[in-house]
Amino acid sequence: MKKVKWLFFGLVGTVTDTLVHFYPQDHLTGAPYDLTAKFTIFGEGFDSISVILDGAKINQPNGIKLRDAFSTLNTNNVGGFFGVEVILESTKYNASLENSECVVELLTSGSIIKYRPASTFDDSLESDQEHSSLFFDDRFNSTSLVFVNKSKKKVNFNLASIGNDSKEMSVNLDSNSVREYALERKDFSPGFQQMTSWGELYLSPFCLSEMPEDVTCYNLYRDKASNQPISISSLTT
């Protein structure tokens, strides 16, 4: 594949930064051919903005602090979540970029969180497969879902718990938006409950069916005391 794309979210604030590390790997050659690296940010309060990163080459790791590339992120118009799309494309060489990698690094007050974003090697994500994950809740941690919608239209779909008494909740997303859904026990069918030394632990599986095109979803686990993110994982890879 001559092109690879990742769709994910970043965080920005007075003590929060987002860095993107990428490695455009081609197993067919070791030569550092030129590469087009296009970064686009979007979200509530500002229009979609794109930049091209100079000097990107195949088989050479690279990275960028998004605040340095997008002056909009330094204004009061943007706070909290925003969407990010990264497209790597070989324009002169028939590259095979399917083994390329990307890691997002969130720098928050007192912590560093890294996660691998959802990727696609075509023009859209697969929309006909089911995506499953686990709702986790205890004394110290909470679970939420972060949806990233890069499409130019509103989308809606259902999130369903898995079990004998399954429940569904509707998810509605505006175009070019990022939205966090906080999950609670009442949203799910009875799951696994266990008393531990730190209190009750509650687990319940759930699934997302037929994810629309240009939409990705991430598990976001937070520390209840500080509300700071502690772990992120993609549901759509």
Q: CATH number of the domain that 69 lies in?
A: 2.60.290.11
Residue 164: per-residue pLDDT = 53
* 59 lies in some domain: yes
Among the three residues 58, 92, 120, which one is the final residue of a domain in this structure? 120
Instruction: Please give the residue that has the higher pLDDT: either 124 or 12.
Output: 12
Q: Say if residue 174 is in the same domain as residue 93.
A: no
68 band by pLDDT with thresholds 50, 70 and 90? very high
Q: Say if residue 116 is in the same domain as residue 151.
A: no
Q: Say if residue 145 is in the same domain as residue 184.
A: yes
Q: Say if residue 155 is in the same domain as residue 113.
A: no
Q: Say if residue 104 is in the same domain as residue 147.
A: no
Instruction: Please state the domain count of the chain.
Output: 2
Helix (H, G, I), strand (E, B) or coil at 90: coil
Q: Say if residue 78 is in the same domain as residue 187.
A: no
Among the three residues 120, 152, 181, which one is the final residue of a domain in this structure? 120
Most confident of the ranges 71-80, 85-94, 197-206: 85-94
Most confident of the ranges 31-35, 43-47, 92-96, 187-191: 31-35
Mean pLDDT of 30-56: 89
* 36 lies in some domain: yes
Residue 124: per-residue pLDDT = 42
| Stated pTM of the model | 0.87
Decide if pLDDT at 163 tops 60: no
* 125 lies in some domain: no
Q: Say if residue 106 is in the same domain as residue 21.
A: yes
Decide if pLDDT at 123 tops 80: no
Q: With 0-12 CB in 10 A as exposed, 13-18 as middle and 19+ as buried, what is 214?
A: buried
Give the chain's radius of gyration (CA, Å). 19
Residue 121: per-residue pLDDT = 58
Among the three residues 67, 95, 120, which one is the final residue of a domain in this structure? 120
* 196 lies in some domain: yes
* 144 lies in some domain: yes
Which domain range does residue 52 map to? 3-120
Residue 1: per-residue pLDDT = 67
Residue 227: per-residue pLDDT = 87
* 221 lies in some domain: yes
Confirm if 228 and 220 have CB atoms less than 8 A apart: no
Instruction: Please give the residue that has the higher pLDDT: either 199 or 63.
Output: 63
Q: Say if residue 104 is in the same domain as residue 152.
A: no
Residue at 108: amino acid letter: T
Lowest mean pLDDT across 56-65, 102-111, 149-158, 226-235 = 149-158
Q: Say if residue 114 is in the same domain as residue 34.
A: yes
Q: Each residue of 174-224: pLDDT tens digit?
A: 989 999 988 887 776 667 778 888 778 878 777 777 777 788 999 999 998
Q: Say if residue 140 is in the same domain as residue 56.
A: no
Q: Say if residue 138 is in the same domain as residue 188.
A: yes
* 189 lies in some domain: yes
* 143 lies in some domain: yes
Decide if pLDDT at 85 tops 50: yes
Q: Say if residue 178 is in the same domain as residue 218.
A: yes
Residue 132: per-residue pLDDT = 75
